[in-house]
Amino acid sequence: MILRTLDVDPRALRQIEAALLWYDTIDPLLADDFLRAVQEVLDSIQTAPQVYAVRYRGLRSAALRRFPYALYFRDSKVTIRVYALIHSRQHRARALKA
């Protein structure tokens, strides 16, 4: 199996970093768990992006285990691009436009 290139948009990186810093203020171990959950989803997206449903304008979403977030991404034959990390309480359309 050939893995596609995984590209994380700078905005998604900022969103991941913001959530990570927030969890770190609560408990550094929780922040570690959050980062691990993000990495697990990124690995899963890269391995089998088609298992995730298309949710919004051609973007697929992959929920993080244990945390109320999902990564939104688009896959092509060559590349998988992650566009956003969105909290489950956020309005998806507004979060993706911002």
Q: What are the residues facing 56 on neighbouring strands? A: 59
Owner of token pair 């991941």: 16
How confident is the model over 14-38, as pLDDT tens digits? 999 999 999 999 999 999 999 999 9
Give the number of domains in the chain: 1
Determine the average pLDDT of the residues in 55-78. 92
Full residue range of the structural domain in which residue 70 is found: 5-97
CATH number at residue 32: 3.30.2310.20
Structure tokens at 73: 């991404």
The residue ranking higher by pLDDT, 88 or 48, is 48
